[in-house]
Amino acid sequence: MFSALQPLAQILLFPAGLFLVINGIVIEWIDRKLVARLQNRIGPRWFQPLADLVKLLAKEEILPAAANPWLFIGLPMIALAGCLTAALYVPIMGLQPAYSFSGDLIVTLYLLSLLTLSKGIAGWNTTNRFSLVGATRGFTQLFAYEAPFLLALLGPAIAARSWQIDTIIQRNAGSWIILTQPIGFLVALIGLMGKLELPPFDAPEAETEIVAGAMTEYSGRGLALFNIAKSVEFVVGLTLVAALYLGGVNNPLEYLLKTLFILVILISLQTLLTRLRIDQTVGLWWRFGTILVLIQWMVLIVWKASAL
């Protein structure tokens, strides 16, 4: 019976579920606090993201009259479910991924994209002008960065000759792919920023243009779930890039240090750069992102071929 409970515990408590939510909250706090300090402000106290979450869950959820209620209530849940499930395949806290099978790299990325897809459909569903523009921008951005990001993450996969995250980490253990594939790391990092809609790629949620993008009509529980999903996606994304490029994560300490390292880089970039217009984002990705990652791939292929 105990073995039957184990998957449940894995999904609800660790590594997914509660642990991941708390992890997400901590990452969100670090993000907000560090951005604030870099802007010479004080920033929120440690319990702020938790307080925000509790407050949102306690608030009334207002259902727009023209929206489909099933979609409206269900989409945040799908988004969160997708992100939480993706965590089962990555080495959270440096421990072995809970589940592993061949090709789970692609599945993980797909699950992470569920968030963007849900947001987009939610934006269309709520029929608010701003949500529609935000949803359109979200989808446009998805088409732009998804391919280069996936290709960049496949770089280490090629080096390890496997598409299974666990195997990639084991086979690449000790060697820091960032040194052999620096361009790939760069694209992966920027791709992560696009995926998480961090500035400068936060056009889908540009506060000064379209209020809150696809999230405009959400309040209460729906908004809370989307926010948690975003934080969880942040954690999973960081873990993935750290594990694949920074020589694997074998124990909690290494995990913390490596993810924090990437987090600090992302936060610095966030603070330094202006928001790009959506057409500039797409232009940037389809010109530089794709070309860079293709160059990286060609180098890889040539090197692999010569190694044989």
Partner 1 sequence: MNTLTSLEQAEKILAPWTKEAARPEPNRLDIIISGDDVFACTAALKQESWGYLSAITGLDLGPDAGALEALYHFCQGAAITTLRARLPRQGGSLPTLYPLYPVSSFFERELSEMFGITVINTPDSNRLFLPDDWPVGVFPMLKEFDPKVEQPRMETSSQTFPSQDGQKFYVPIGPQHPALKEPGHFEFTVDGEVITEARMRLGYVHRGIEKAVEGQNWVQNLYLLERVCGICSHTHATAYVMGVERLAGVEAPLRAQAIREVIAGLERIHSHLLWLGVSAHEAGFDTLFMYSWRDRETVMDILEALSGNRVNYSANIIGGVKFDIYPEQAATIRTGLEYLEERIRHYLDIVTSDTLFLQRTRGVGQINREEATHLGLLGPTARASGVLRDVRVEAPYGPYTRYPVSIVTSEAGDLEARFIVRLKELFVTINAIRTILDNLPESEMSVRVPRRIPAGETISRVEAPRGEAFYFIKSNGSDKPERIKIRTPSLCNWTAVLSKAPGSQLADAPLLIAGMDPCFSCNDRMITVKRLEHS
Partner 2 sequence: MRFGTMLSDIFQSLFQAPATQKYPFERTETPQRLRGKLTWDPERCSACSLCAKECPANALEVITVDKANRRYVMRYQVDRCTFCAQCVQNCRFKCIQLSSDDWELATLDKKSFTQYFGRETDVDTVLAELGDPNAELPGAD
Contact set with partner 2 (CB under 8 A)? 36-43, 268-269, 271-273
Q: How would you classify residue 176: left for phi > 0, otherwise alpha for psi between -120 and 50, otherwise beta?
A: beta
Tell me the residue length of the chain. 308
Q: Cβ of residue 256: shortest distance to partner 2, in angstroms? A: 20
What's the CA gap between 150 and 296, in Å, rounded? Answer: 13
With CA atoms as reference, report the closest residue to 262 among 38, 27, 18: 27
What's the CA gap between 243 and 261, in Å, rounded? Answer: 12
| Residue 221's binding partner out of partner 1, partner 2, none, with CB under 5 to 8 Å set by partner kind | none
Residue of 167, 180, 250, 271 that binds partner 1 (CB under 8 A): 271
Contact 219, 76 (CB under 8 A): no
Contact 235, 27 (CB under 8 A): yes
Residue of 5, 272, 298, 301 that binds partner 1 (CB under 8 A): 272
- Distance from chain centroid for Cα 142: 12
Q: Cβ of residue 42: shortest distance to partner 2, in angstroms? A: 5
Can residue 280 be called a binding residue for partner 1 (CB under 8 A)?
yes
| Residue 42's binding partner out of partner 1, partner 2, none, with CB under 5 to 8 Å set by partner kind | partner 2
With CA atoms as reference, report the closest residue to 269 among 212, 220, 196: 196
Stretch that binds partner 1, among 4-12, 115-123, 157-165, 271-279 (CB under 8 A): 271-279
- Smaller CB separation from partner 1, 37 or 59: 37
Q: Cβ of residue 258: shortest distance to partner 2, in angstroms? A: 21
CB atoms within 10 A of CB 262: 20
What's the CA gap between 272 and 243, in Å, rounded? Answer: 26
| Residue 268's binding partner out of partner 1, partner 2, none, with CB under 5 to 8 Å set by partner kind | partner 2
| Residue 224's binding partner out of partner 2, partner 1, none, with CB under 5 to 8 Å set by partner kind | none
CB atoms within 10 A of CB 153: 25
- Smaller CB separation from partner 2, 17 or 191: 191
Contact 94, 252 (CB under 8 A): yes
- Smaller CB separation from partner 1, 156 or 199: 199
Contact 189, 265 (CB under 8 A): yes
| Residue 37's binding partner out of partner 2, partner 1, none, with CB under 5 to 8 Å set by partner kind | partner 2
Can residue 161 be called a binding residue for partner 1 (CB under 8 A)?
no
- Smaller CB separation from partner 2, 3 or 40: 40
Q: Cβ of residue 113: shortest distance to partner 1, in angstroms? A: 22
Q: Within 201-220, which residues bind partner 1 (CB under 8 A)?
A: 202-203, 206-211
